[in-house]
Amino acid sequence: MAEPILQVTTLMKRFGGLIATNDLSMTVERGETHAIIGPNGAGKTTFVSQLQGLLTPDSGSVVLDGRDITFEPAHKRAHLGIARSFQIASLVPEFTVLAHAALAVQSRAGHSFRFWKKAWQDQSLLEPAREAVAAVGLDSRMHSLASDLSHGERRQLELAIALAQRPTLLLLDEPMAGMGRQDGARMTQLLASLKRQYSIILIEHDMDAVFKLADRISVLVAGHIIKTGTPDEIRNDADVRAAYLGH
């Protein structure tokens, strides 16, 4: 089998007396959608933050595409191919939808020490940005301000920004959180269409979506992965049912 895109080995993270990430090891294969499920407070977002680089682990290692990135800062990891969509949409209220995607394109293109040319006339930014916005189905809101978007649209925009980064590994932190049934279904469909194009870590509480999208599922309890397997294996595992699904 080819080398995995992401290899996490014995990751540890403590906050004072609380062990948020406990001896966590996992791999994500190329093109795989790997879901992480677990009860509230299991340390899912803390784990994603260590992958993105907002938090530094106390010990253990994170290897992306053969390169040890354990201590790389977040902005470097973005250039190495990690994109994250945030659980709580993290946007610039006074920027348009298109501007958010263009910002990601601009960052990917290298430094932004360009002082004179008007960014909003720069087709090399806008073309890829439009593509990313269209890919998540926000075309009609291209020029709306982020502050005018509905909750569901903000989640879509989060995803569009991540796609505009052309990532090798997509970290999706509860992309359906707070969405209604209809929006959630649309997002699931969208993610299903992106599957295979990207390697994805998906954190999600919506079990229907998880079982539909994931190639493999890891169950995180108290910062530790107690089980990894295919959706069928996870569904039928007694320990998992006891720890999580049964609740």
Tokens standing for residue 231: 């959706």
For other proteins, the closer of residues 56 and 59 by Cβ is: 56
Q: Report yes or no: 12 and 5 within 8 Å, Cβ to Cβ.
A: no
**CB of 57: closest distance to other proteins in angstroms?**
18
DSSP state of 196: T
**CB of 201: closest distance to other proteins in angstroms?**
15
Rounded distance between C-alpha atoms, residue 25 and residue 47, angstroms: 11
For other proteins, the closer of residues 1 and 94 by Cβ is: 94
Q: Report yes or no: 42 and 98 within 8 Å, Cβ to Cβ.
A: no
Query: Which stretches of the chain bind other proteins, using CB under 8 A?
Result: 52, 54, 73-76, 78-79, 83-84, 86, 90-96, 98-100, 102-104, 106-108, 112-122, 125-126, 142-143, 145, 147, 161, 164-165
**CB of 243: closest distance to other proteins in angstroms?**
31
**CB of 237: closest distance to other proteins in angstroms?**
34
**CB of 17: closest distance to other proteins in angstroms?**
27
Rounded distance between C-alpha atoms, residue 164 and residue 244, angstroms: 35
For other proteins, the closer of residues 99 and 138 by Cβ is: 99
| Residue 73: exposure state from Cβ atoms within 10 A (0-12, 13-18, ≥19) | exposed
For other proteins, the closer of residues 148 and 208 by Cβ is: 148
For other proteins, the closer of residues 101 and 221 by Cβ is: 101
Q: Report yes or no: 159 and 91 within 8 Å, Cβ to Cβ.
A: no
In terms of Cα–Cα distance, which of 52, 146, 166 is closest to 100? 146
**CB of 213: closest distance to other proteins in angstroms?**
22
Separation in Å, CA 170 to CA 62, 117, 155, 239: 15, 31, 14, 28
For other proteins, the closer of residues 133 and 210 by Cβ is: 133
Rounded distance between C-alpha atoms, residue 53 and residue 82, angstroms: 9
